[in-house]
Structures are given as structure tokens and as C-alpha cells.
Structure 1
Amino acid sequence: MEALLSQFTLLSDHALQDKNFDPSTIEDLMKLFEIESYKAWAAAELEQQKEVEEAEVSMQEAEDYLDSVMESAMDEFRRFEEELESMSKAEMESLVQTAESARKMGNLMEKAASVASKKYIEAALNSATASMKSAWKGISSGKVHPS
């Protein structure tokens, strides 16, 4: 393109100095400018298409990477969720066992308290019976104590 501009400048100078100058010479040069412009336009369009294709490849690579990172994150989340669920289940089972043990202990304590209270009642009844028998023996033998 620079060579054409240089040639155009020379022809323009020549046209100004020579009255017999043939204008068709400049027309031929203008056709060369047009051809060169189309070539430059085609080269620019080809370069733009190449850049678009490279950008599309880069975008696809970025999308693939993002998909990979997201899938990895989801796998890690699923593992974490499973681990948390397993820990929660184990903790719940432990709490259920503790509650069952506490219930059994409560039942045993209730039974022990019931047995202890029956024995206390029996002892009190035996003591009262013994006191009554002793008092009855005392009345029967005629030994009444003055009060």
C-alpha cells in the first residue's frame, strides 16, 4: 500500500508538471488501490475470523474447566453430605442407646423403690404387729403398766 501511495505521489507530481499527461495512468493506479484495499479487507476479515475461532476455543476451554471445577465441587459436597449424614446417624443412635439405658435405669430404680417401700411397709406392719402382740400379752398376763 505504501508503494502505491508513493507511485500516486509521483504520478500526481508528473501530472502537474506535464500537460500531456494521460489520466488513464492514474485510473489504472486507482484500480490497483481498489484491489489492494480488497486484499487488505479480506486479510483483516480472515484475521478477525481466526481471532473469533480462537476466542470460541478459549471459551470452550473455560467452560470445560468450569464444568470440571463444578463437578469436583459437587462431588466434594456429596462426600461431605454423606459423611455428615453418617455422623448424624451415629450420634442419633448413640442418643437413642443412652435414652434406652436411662429408661431401663429408671424402670430398675422404680422397681427398687417399689420393693424398698413394700419392705418398709412390711417392716412397719411387722413392728406394729409385734407391738400389738406384746401389748396383748401384757394385757393377757395382767401386767398393765400405769401411764
Structure 2
Amino acid sequence: MEALLSQFTFLSDQSLLDKTFDPSTIEDLMKLFEIESYKAWAAAELEQETELEETEHAMQEAEEHLDSVMESAMDEFRRFEEEMERISRDEVESLVQTAEKARKMGNLMEKSAAIASKKYMEAALNSATSSMKSAWKGISSGKVHPS
């Protein structure tokens, strides 16, 4: 483009100095300007399309990376969730087992207390019966022998 501007300056100077100057030479130069402008425009458009394609490609890669990261995060979350559910289930199961053991121990203690209470009552009753028999023997033997 600079060469064309130099040529235009040269022809402009020549047209002022030379009375026989043919104006069609400037028209030919103007056509070259037009062609050069179209070439520059086409090159700029091609560069813009190239940049657009590169940008679209970069966006596609970024979307794929984001999808990959999101999928990885979701997988990790699912594994975490499953692990928490397993731990919760194990804890509930452990609590149920502990509660069942405590219930059985309570039942056993209740039965033991009932048995001990029954044996204590039987012992007390046997003692009272024995005391009464002994007292009755003493009374009976005193009636047989007048004093």
C-alpha cells in the first residue's frame, strides 16, 4: 500500500508539471488501490475467521474440560454419599444391636430379681413356718405336762 501511495504522489507531481500527462494512468493506479484494499479486507476477514475458529475451538475445549471436571465431581459426590449412607446404616445397625442387648439384659435382670424375690419370700415363709412349728411344739408340749 505504501508503494502505491508513493506512486500516487509521484503521478500527482508529474500531472502538475507535465501538460501532456495522461489522467488514465491515475485511474489505473486507483484500480490498483481498489484491488489492494480488497486484498487487505480479505486478509483481515480471513484473520478474523481464523481467530473465530480458534476461539470456538478453545471454547469447546473449555466446555469439555468443565464437563469432565463436573462429571468427576459428581462421581466423587456419589461415592461420598454412598459411603455416608453405608456408615449411617452401620451405625443404626450397631445401635439396634446395642439396644437389643440392653433389652435382653434388662429382661434377664428382671427375671433374676423375680427369682431372688421369690426365693427370699419362700425362705421367709419357711422360716416363719419353722418358727410357728417350733412355737406350737412348745405350746403343745406345755399342755401335755401341767405345771
Q: What TM-score results when the alignment is normalised by the length of structure 1?
A: 0.89
- The residue that corresponds to 1:102 in the other structure is 102
Residue by residue over 1:65-106, the C-alpha shift from the partner in whole angstroms, topping out at 9 and shown as x without a partner, is 111111111111111221221122122111111111111111
- Percent same amino acid among aligned pairs? 83
The 1-side partners of 2:117 and 2:57 are apart by 88
Matches within 5 A, 1:1-147: 1-142=1-142
**2:119 partner letter:** K
Residue by residue over 1:92-138, the C-alpha shift from the partner in whole angstroms, topping out at 9 and shown as x without a partner, is 11111111111111110000011011111111111221222222222
**1:90 partner letter:** D
Shift of 1:19: 3.3
The 2-side partners of 1:61 and 1:33 are apart by 42
The 2-side partners of 1:95 and 1:75 are apart by 30
Greater alpha carbon shift after TM alignment, 56-65 vs 134-143: 134-143
The 2-side partners of 1:131 and 1:2 are apart by 142
**Structure 1: gaps spanning 5 or more residues:** none
Name the Cα RMSD after superposition.
Answer: 1.5
Shift of 1:54: 1.0
Q: What TM-score results when the alignment is normalised by the length of structure 2?
A: 0.89
Residue correspondences, number: 143
The 2-side partners of 1:128 and 1:15 are apart by 155
**Structure 2: gaps spanning 5 or more residues:** none
